[in-house]
Amino acid sequence: MANNIKKLKSKVQTIDQSKIKEAFRLMGTAKTMAEIYEENAKVTSKYVHATSRGHEAIQIAMGMQLKPQDWVSPYYRDDSILLSIGMRPYDVMLQVFAKKDDPFSGGRTYYSHPSLKEEDKPKIIHQSSATGMQAIPTTGVAMGIQYKEKVGIAEDFKGDNPVVVCSLGDASCTEGEVSEAFQMAALKQFPIIYLVQDNEWDISANAAEIRAQDITHYAKGFNGLEVRTIDGTDFEACYNTIAEVISIIRKERRPFLIHAKVPLLGHHTSGVRKEWYRDDLEEAALKDPYPKLRKLVEDAFGIAEVINIEASVRTVVEEEFKQAMNAEDPSPDSLTDHYFAPTPITEEKGERSPVGKKPTVMVDSALFAMTEILSKHKEALLYGQDVGGRLGGVFREAATLAQKFGDERVYNTPIQEAFIIGSTVGMSAVGLKPIVEVQFADYIWPGLNQLFTEVSRSYYLSNGKWPVSAIIRVPIGAYGSGGPYHSSSVESVVTNIRGIKVAYPSTGADLKGLLKSAFYDPNPVVIFEHKGLYWSKIKGTEGAITVEPDEDYVIPFGKARTVIEAMPEKVQASESMVIITYGRGVYWSAEAAEAFPGRVEIIDLRTLSPIDETAIFDAVKKHNRAMLVTEESIEATFTLALAGKIQKNCFEYLDAPVEIIGSVDTPAIPLNSILEAALLTNADKVRVGIERTLNY
């Protein structure tokens, strides 16, 4: 009977008997794994984990129907999805014990936090623990697939076009970032399924406490997002609904939400046990999908076959559990592997100041760089608030780009910084190079969750599978009485996020060279662009106007520039010092240095992560006196940390304390121009600092 492929009657359509049998084997595997974890809780609970008990039917129905060209983002309760796309129990259980050969992260992250890049399976970008955060990066995958199809660079799947699946728990859908993902998918009609598994719990709070409505009703507010609501414990209904939805998306390329109602039969996690707080366990047990599917298989194949499958599954899981438990741990030597992906830009190349070209303002140097990138690379695109054709950026930094390259490649987004930043994860994964803009540094805060949780950690936690190759452009700094919400300096926060590179150029030539370098770098790059330097309208900032470098000009990250050199005789006489600065600080320092001819060397860092430690330490040892200049305030900042680094590494060479000149420490930058001027760093303050340092 096992080889006789019959058809089982379904409420909607027939399902091959073999698929029902395979689903039962998978469900039995997931259930047995959960049981073995519980039986061996003393060893399995060393690292926190959650299982799919109660959710298996909907997960298996989804996983069985995905193809290698598809993408799926399972969340931390989705081990049944992993099994149903072809992962062995051993593969999955390696992550329970954080083992070296864990195929997802090499022991770096929790159970059922997958990332996968295998030819014969659906692809999985890095998955984090932060609930709902996968919605934006995964929607970015769908956005990237749509873009490639529209501009003619997508692979031809003969009509079997890729589908993207984002799995979510219902409780996570109260997160604002989930709404940002829904909004973009509905607005742009991306080929994505949001699979929402609703067990009516978050941890200890139930549905009555945490939501005004379930996701079926909530999703009605997103016009263009079609919803299916199903019993997530009924495998036949799940399979048929998913089959219908996938078939539509492969052809019509539009988004769906599938709302599956399921019981939570396991613990929230191994560390938060259900018996501590739940009073619905008996009711939940009545909704277990396992007996339902077991009955279908028994009716089709007989009880003997059911018993054989269960025994076989138990044997396999027990054996592979032992193998996983005894597998090799990762070596401490691998701790810093996959910090950054290798970049091809390791030295300054190209012509910085071509003969015959006229100097141009900094904003135009960036515009020329973008024009060259978009002309040469169809995988490059630019999006953000107001960068589209009508305005071309509030600082005109994207002027004419939409007209030249089309609305598919240069376009506006809604006001949602989290989506702008987080979508780059998915766009990069499908082979694109997203260049995005956060309109003002003051508004990067809503995007920091994505920048920290998803963008910066993807390469490291995926064990080198998914670097995020993206450029995030951020106009920054005080300019023209911008006031408390358009003037902030935020580099100290951003440089504290490991796994991203940070540039802060002070000239048009450096901005163009660093933009080009960032484009060819496979890692995420934040480029701060000072608004006061864009046009050099502020007296003293004319040095930001430079001859536009040629098309091949690139600057490696971590390479500083010497702006002014001290006279050798002043150095020899111990009458010199070095100023280390960046951004607008270069111009305050240059103006102040005029009062001390030949005695001041100025180093422009150009990039803040990584920094050019060699140039910094060599200059300090050469002059024995150092000062740091920043537009930020001093307390708890990047510059204060740099001063500590200099003192630690150059202490025996210093003839004076490391001086820092920065802005007055206040919660915000006032709007009034008199107050703003009193707060900000300026040349007079720098001049006083130089005198104090030289005379120490």
Task: Report the catalytic residues.
Answer: 486
- 73/116 Cα distance (integer angstroms): 10
Could you tell me which of 527, 378, 358 has the C-alpha nearest to residue 438? 527
Using left for φ > 0, alpha for ψ between -120 and 50, and beta otherwise, residue 29 falls in alpha
Q: Are 475 and 488 in contact (CB under 8 A)?
A: no
Which residues in 95-162 belong to E strands, given as ranges? none
DSSP 168: E
Q: How far apart are CA 692 and CA 696, in angstroms?
A: 6
How many angstroms separate the CA atoms of 293 and 233, rounded? 9
Q: Say how far apart CA 20 and CA 11 lie, in whole Å.
A: 14
Q: Which residue(s) pair with 349 in the sheet?
A: 554
The structure tokens listed for 310 are 């269960």
Indicate the residue type of 175. Answer: E
Alpha-carbon separation of residue 542 from 265, 347, 506, 534, 590 (angstroms): 67, 27, 11, 10, 11
Read off the DSSP letter of residue 129: S
Please list, residue by residue across 625-659, b when 16 or more beta carbons sit within 10 angstroms of its beta carbon and e when fewer do.
bbbbbbbbbbeebbbbebbeebeeebeeebebebb
Bridge partners, 116 (sequence order)? 124
Give me 555's structure tokens. 């600057």
Distance of CA 620 to the CA centre of its chain: 36
Side chain identity, residue 591: E
**Integer Cα distance of 89 and 111 in angstroms:** 12
Among candidate residues 256, 259, 258, the one with its CA nearest the CA of residue 139: 256
**Angle between helix 56-63 and 17-39 (nearest 10):** 130
Which residues have a Cβ under 8 Å from the Cβ of 446 and sit 6 or more positions away?
A: 416, 417, 418
Could you list the beta-strand ranges (E) of 172-288: 192-198, 226-231, 256-261
Distance in angstroms (rounded) separating the CA atoms of residues 677 and 218: 48
Kindly state the tokens that stand for 395.
């600082």
**Residue 304: CB partners within 8 Å, gap ≥ 6?**
none
3-state secondary structure 455-486: HCCHHHHCCCCCCCCCEEEEEECCCCCCCCCC
Residues 6+ apart with CB under 8 A from 344: 520
d(CA 472, CA 466): 18
